[in-house]
């Protein structure tokens, strides 16, 4: 059985756990999994890692009871692409959800 799971704008959602699924797969030439939620929603740590392994885009989504330091960019008018710059990368990140853009002089250190 194959299924597409999309979560968007559900203010009643509190968490998601895909533990009963045996496999999360994204095939070539299909839409990427994109999960951008509000602070009322949290994502189980193991599920977030499984989604990242499938090249999901995850932003503004707290991790439920994290055991590591998860760093996720917030989408706003100054950062519409959900990326980090070396100047705004939080300290102590162990799991990075978004890319880093190096812009030249000074940033490559």
CA distance to 4, 6, 44, per residue, from 84 (Å): 29, 25, 23
Q: Give the predicted TM-score (pTM) of the model.
A: 0.62
d(CA 37, CA 100): 21
Rounded to an integer, the average pLDDT of 91-106 is: 82
Whole-number percent of the chain with pLDDT over 70:
53
pLDDT, residue 39, reads 62
Q: Considering the chain, what is the average pLDDT of its residues?
A: 72
Residue 7 has pLDDT above 50, yes or no: yes
Classify 29 in phi/psi space as left (phi over 0), alpha (psi -120 to 50) or beta.
left
Cα angle 26-4-95, degrees, rounded to a multiple of 5: 55
């Amino acid at each position: 059985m194959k299924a597409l799971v999309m979560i968007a704008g559900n203010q009643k959602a509190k968490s998601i756990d895909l533990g009963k699924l045996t496999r999360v797969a994204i095939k070539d030439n299909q839409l990427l999994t994109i999960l951008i939620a509000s602070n009322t929603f949290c994502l189980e740590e193991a599920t977030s890692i499984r989604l990242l392994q499938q090249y999901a885009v995850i932003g503004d989504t707290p991790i439920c009871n994290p055991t590591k330091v998860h760093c996720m960019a917030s989408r706003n008018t100054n950062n519409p692409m959900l990326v980090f710059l070396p100047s705004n990368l939080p300290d102590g990140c162990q799991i990075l959800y978004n890319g880093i853009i190096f812009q030249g002089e000074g940033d490559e250190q």
